[in-house]
Structure 1
Amino acid sequence: MSMNGEYLRVTPAELERALKDPEWALDLADEIRDAQEESAPAPAGARHFTTQQTWHLLGFLLQRSAFPVDIVHGEETLATDDWGYGPPRYLTPDRVRLAADTLQQTTYDQLIQGVDPFELVKAEVYPQIWDSPASLEWARDLFTPLADLFRDAASGGHAMLIWID
């Protein structure tokens, strides 16, 4: 079974409710994910988004570039319940805004510049497929949609729930 990075855009009121009732938040995430499978909205208009298995590579690259927000794992714990591979975390609307602003100024080429695939092997970045410089291209197609998701969430004043499933 693979590990996938999952994101759910929520309003401040939904975040407040989720903090009080994490089980409700998990039900909301499942409901939105199921609804989007049928409608397949663009990432900028979506409430749910997955970075699939690229989450760990993106996290490594963003941390290496001193990105100011942990957009891969979230920053605050939402609940102690396990939503797959650990508890869900979240970003407040202010942190979503900072992430969106910084993502707008960041290109994928900047993130991979100077990265040696051996660094990924040494850091045990999941999944361990780092056999050539071309393997760094793997997350490129998900980086821009992730930035779009954050930009749209920030423009709506939304928070973000984040978990690995």
Structure 2
Amino acid sequence: MSMIGEYLRVTAAELDRAIRDPDWALDLVEKVQDAEEETEPAPTEARHFSTYKTWDMLRFLLARAEFPVNVIHGEEPFAEDEDWGYGPPRYLRPDRVRLAAEALRGTGYSQFTSGVDPAELTRAEVYPLGWSDPGSLEWGRPWYDGLTQFFEAAATADDAMLVWLD
């Protein structure tokens, strides 16, 4: 089984409801995932986004760069008694989504990987391992680019974000 980083863009009203009613939020997640699985919208148009298995690699790179927002795990817990795969979901309020989008936009993937030796990821036991392969750091570029586009679209719409590992 794989661990996958997951995101759902929600309006402020949907965030308020999700916090009050986590079961409703999980139903919304499943509904949006099912709908978008068929249409496969671009990250700028999607409500759901996945960083696939790159979530931990991205976490490592962002933490190393002292990124100002925890875009990998979210920042505020809700549904603490719920398990959406690998623990409870968290969220980012619209102001944190805007800050994250600005920081992602201002920092290219090459800047995050500059000076990183893949052996560092191996030593840190970054999921999913296998960092000794040549070009392994490039594996995360498409997901980072998609995450950047996804956050920019959410920030433009003044959306919040639900975040979880599945």
Range of TM-score over shorter length: over 0.9
User: Which residue does 1:137 correspond to in 2?
Assistant: 138
Gaps of 5+ in 2: none
Task: Return the TM-score normalized by structure 1.
Answer: 0.98
Secondary structure at 1:56 match in 2: helix
Gaps of 5+ in 1: none
Whether contact under 8 Å (1:116, 1:133) holds in the other structure is no
* Separation in structure 1 between the aligned mates of residue 65 and residue 28 of structure 2, nearest angstrom: 33
Is 1:29 aligned with 2:29?
Answer: yes
* Separation in structure 2 between the aligned mates of residue 67 and residue 133 of structure 1, nearest angstrom: 26
User: Which residue does 1:115 correspond to in 2?
Assistant: 116
Counting aligned pairs with the same residue, the percent is 59
* Separation in structure 1 between the aligned mates of residue 73 and residue 104 of structure 2, nearest angstrom: 16
User: Which residue does 2:162 correspond to in 1?
Assistant: 161
User: Which residue does 1:148 correspond to in 2?
Assistant: 149
- Matched letter for residue 2 of structure 1: S
Whether contact under 8 Å (1:4, 1:164) holds in the other structure is yes
Map Cα deviations across residues 60-97 of structure 1 (whole Å, 9 max, x no partner): 00010111000000000021100000100000000000
User: Which residue does 2:49 correspond to in 1?
Assistant: 49
Secondary structure at 1:43 match in 2: coil
User: Which residue does 1:74 correspond to in 2?
Assistant: 74
- Matched letter for residue 30 of structure 1: E
Which ranges of 4 or more aligned residues in structure 1 deviate by more than 2 Å? none
Of the structure 1 ranges 132-141 and 21-30, higher mean CA displacement relative to structure 2 is found in: 132-141
Displacement of 1:132 in angstroms is 3.7
* Separation in structure 2 between the aligned mates of residue 46 and residue 86 of structure 1, nearest angstrom: 24
* Separation in structure 1 between the aligned mates of residue 92 and residue 125 of structure 2, nearest angstrom: 26
Whether contact under 8 Å (1:49, 1:146) holds in the other structure is yes
- Report how many aligned residue pairs link the two structures: 165
